Structure 1
């Protein structure tokens, strides 16, 4: 006899329904979260069976419920959808060869798998436990399936929250995750699973304290991140000029939202904390947020010359802390399936392809031929296709651009001629300045020297400049002298570039420059023409 949870799930996906009932779906999510234990596995197993229903309407209702559960039930449910059994059952009815026009069910499943790949296996704190989602994504691409384009809003709803969490909340989050993982390891019962379960039980019981996180320190790190964002936001607001629309700047909007959402929790902690030093630190951070929010309001009103005190100092960076990951769809190149992991250079090529659209032609190293061994491509329990991972320099080698119509470029100021050659200011935003000095070398070739300056008060790390020219030109970029620009530095980083222009056309370039500041990933794009 089916359990109450199973019966409610079957009722929510009844073929008699023609539209999903959001209230009922959220009630099911609440039941899963409240019961825990075997509830996530029971729910996932029931839903995936309904996804394979012969009734199209029932299958689509089950997929909507599945999406709601993934977005609302957290890690215990994520652990179930990342299991080999679940993923194999989810794609059980996929045809051996992709159909030219996939059914709505197949399209929705492809969308969900890609969404999980981006928001869970690339960004989750527990991504190491969810690797089979990425395996299935790669297998389907290898088979020739094309994944739909994702909506940023749906990915953001599943991505890890940046909201400030107290030490108790961080500890409780880990406890729930450890409990779910322990139950799954015991259920599988393989020798390696039982060894891992025994290790996990020692940690949960407090017997092995070597791997128990210091949640007080983790909370301090969270406060430091909020402080970093407040400082960075203030510096970006000070660089805004008349005519700039800050509401269209996603980085400024995200930073302001993160600071504003953290403030109520900081104010609550001030009333609950007993340590005077900690109270003083929280009060200082609260004042910083108040000031940066006031600066944001001034800039929004057109008042650019107001100044507020930002007394906090950037904390010492923790070298063991992983950098915050941003939502990015650039690495999901669906233009052609490939059974091999792309090297770093290929990922950079994909970045440029994202700038110029599908009509861009970006050169990249040829990929090895796929393995010839025949196997069930949808079976994650079997060995995946052999993969080749190579290391390469992140510098772009001879990118090119080809469009079916003549591209329209923004106008740029006329270059200034100096002893170093013609000077072009390629980028001057948020404290980053990139100048190009162009010197002719031969009839059709010129050397370009790029100088990077940092006018802000914080270092810019992981710097990467990417350039592309029309197909009629060839461009070669040498490695940068450094990937870090010190604060308040002038022309401290350089890069040599060789441009071949056989048809002697006017210089046209498009660029994407990325860097990290205060642990926040920044990205600027644009174009230049002579």
Structure 2
């Protein structure tokens, strides 16, 4: 370790990664994570830079301890730290010691780095609410794959930690989480200082300062979704306990029972917190009190069955929370719009910050940047701050190993640069900009109309629903629905239901598939046709619903949608 610690955070990191340790110290690593979560501001950036410098230490033990600490920080420090590990400079430094061509055998440090990038790519890059900000992680994963590096398989238990949790959160916690995310993004935009970043930062500051009411509404909507999921879990848990009571056989080690019990147990204080937050809404308080009573009774019933007291357990009767079959029947009646529209996916809106510029005080613009930080080694994602005129004759002096440098340039760039190093043209085969330079007759035209017609109907935490529409006449269309799993947990017992108004005629083909594997794309499809009995119509209104299970827990998504052709 070369440079002496310069701050309290850096000292904690050096202490957790010192080579004199026999093995990684989890308590020291968690202490660093707690410190970052408490301080926020510039702490995530400082920690990321310090840790990645230690990853490149010549001492193998220090590098391994630093990667172990990095894993703990990624899993415990949330979006502010995720934003830092997704920076181009950090990723270049992380793979700084990777050769241009993969070695015959990976070192332990290389295996851990490849495992970390694969884990991030399969989890936060696909399931995070802010996944659009993590694009460089996907780029680095694609670059390493193109170079020939092979990534290890991600363990399900590791993926589950980074995937969004279904645990109930209070409105205050949701707003706090969003505030931290917006603040971290604002600081990063200001730190970069490019004109486009400052323009985006200005928009973000207006959002954070002026839309508190919208943020509260959105936070309540997110909490309402969590409460609906909790109600479904409570109903499933109640049915399972009732079956155990009727049969007289109870298995306290049943994984599904234990998981549902834990979810309800954790939710108890959260429900009480939400009740205090919703005091101004009598109807909401009444529903929450009913749910709270049901959860308390279910917890008591489980404990009685676990203790072998079948008599008293059978006396506890728990009413349904209204998430069962009764509501699913609403799909048949298309005109019943009470529960038709599902809450749209939350957008990135900020929360009010009392002192907006106060969050930027920890930024330091006077300290000169490290000369070599972010440049990386043989494998990198390109210059950290590309000037407007980044294409220059100097590029022809040697082979171009920067796979993404040209991706950021217009397709009308100088042809002499592209032809300067033909033997090292890494963009051949999958670069979109170069394909656009080819004559138009070389590009197949037929697929384009179908790509234009395929649209996203709904995208939730677990599922992406798309359709491809073909118009045969003014009163007849055919539609094919595609369903993609956005998470690492398989979706089982998948069922798609659809209804149309009485003025339309619906013809359904058999559903193809009922199981969507981890991150399975278009694993389930459903074709259907809609005809109008009243001649030409400009739009086609449908009401859809999907049912599926995740780890034994049933999930339902439903909404109305208007197809326009």
TM-score normalised by length of structure 1: 0.60
Structure 1 distance, partners of 2:180, 2:556, is: 31
Deviations 1:138-187 (CA, angstroms, capped at 9, x unpaired): 22223222222222222222332322211111111111111111000001
Q: Give secondary structure in 1 for the equivalent of 2:54.
A: helix
**C-alpha displacement of 1:113:** 1.1
Deviations 1:30-54 (CA, angstroms, capped at 9, x unpaired): 2222222111111101111111112
- What pairs with 1:142-221 in structure 2 (closer than 5 Å)? 142-206=146-210, 213-221=217-225
Aligned match for 1:62, one of 62, 66, 73: 66
Which blocks of at least 5 consecutive residues in structure 1 are unaligned? 324-373, 397-428, 433-449, 453-461, 468-476, 488-511, 521-530
Aligned match for 1:464, one of 504, 513, 525: 513
Matched, 1:517 2:517: no
Aligned partner of 2:317 in structure 1 is: 308
Contact 1:202 1:208 in 2 (8 A): no
Deviations 1:171-214 (CA, angstroms, capped at 9, x unpaired): 11111111111000001111221111001101111268667753
Structure 2 distance, partners of 1:278, 1:208, is: 21
Aligned match for 1:107, one of 108, 111, 125: 111
Q: Give secondary structure in 2 for the equivalent of 1:97.
A: coil
**C-alpha displacement of 1:64:** 1.0
Describe the shift of the 1:249–1:140 C-alpha distance in structure 2 as closer, same or farther (beyond 3 A).
Answer: farther
Structure 1 distance, partners of 2:208, 2:146, is: 40
Matched, 1:261 2:286: no
Contact 2:291 2:321 in 1 (8 A): yes
Matched, 1:77 2:102: no
Deviations 1:340-394 (CA, angstroms, capped at 9, x unpaired): xxxxxxxxxxxxxxxxxxxxxxxxxxxxxxxxxx853676896585379977978
Structure 2 distance, partners of 1:184, 1:26, is: 24
**C-alpha displacement of 1:312:** 2.3
Aligned partner of 1:333 in structure 2 is: none
Structure 2 distance, partners of 1:95, 1:228, is: 51
Describe the shift of the 1:70–1:58 C-alpha distance in structure 2 as closer, same or farther (beyond 3 A).
Answer: same
Aligned partner of 1:458 in structure 2 is: none
Aligned partner of 1:16 in structure 2 is: 20
Q: Give secondary structure in 1 for the equivalent of 2:41.
A: coil
- What pairs with 1:85-484 in structure 2 (closer than 5 Å)? 85-206=89-210, 213-235=217-239, 253-270=258-275, 274-275=279-280, 276-293=282-299, 308-314=317-323, 316=339, 318-322=341-345, 376=401, 385-386=430-431, 464-465=513-514
**C-alpha displacement of 1:218:** 3.3
Structure 2 distance, partners of 1:375, 1:311, is: 64
Contact 1:53 1:59 in 2 (8 A): yes
Q: Give secondary structure in 1 for the equivalent of 2:514.
A: strand
Structure 2 distance, partners of 1:207, 1:244, is: 54
Structure 2 distance, partners of 1:188, 1:486, is: 43
Contact 1:139 1:377 in 2 (8 A): no
Structure 2 distance, partners of 1:235, 1:32, is: 43
Structure 2 distance, partners of 1:431, 1:54, is: 51
Describe the shift of the 1:91–1:302 C-alpha distance in structure 2 as closer, same or farther (beyond 3 A).
Answer: farther
Contact 2:256 2:552 in 1 (8 A): no
Q: Give secondary structure in 2 for the equivalent of 1:465.
A: coil
Q: Give secondary structure in 2 for the equivalent of 1:518.
A: strand
Structure 1 distance, partners of 2:44, 2:54, is: 16
Whichever structure has more helix as a proportion of its residues is 2
Structure 1 distance, partners of 2:16, 2:406, is: 31
Structure 1 distance, partners of 2:229, 2:258, is: 16
Aligned residues: 379
Contact 2:127 2:164 in 1 (8 A): yes
**C-alpha displacement of 1:217:** 3.7
Structure 1 vs Structure 2 CA RMSD: 4.5
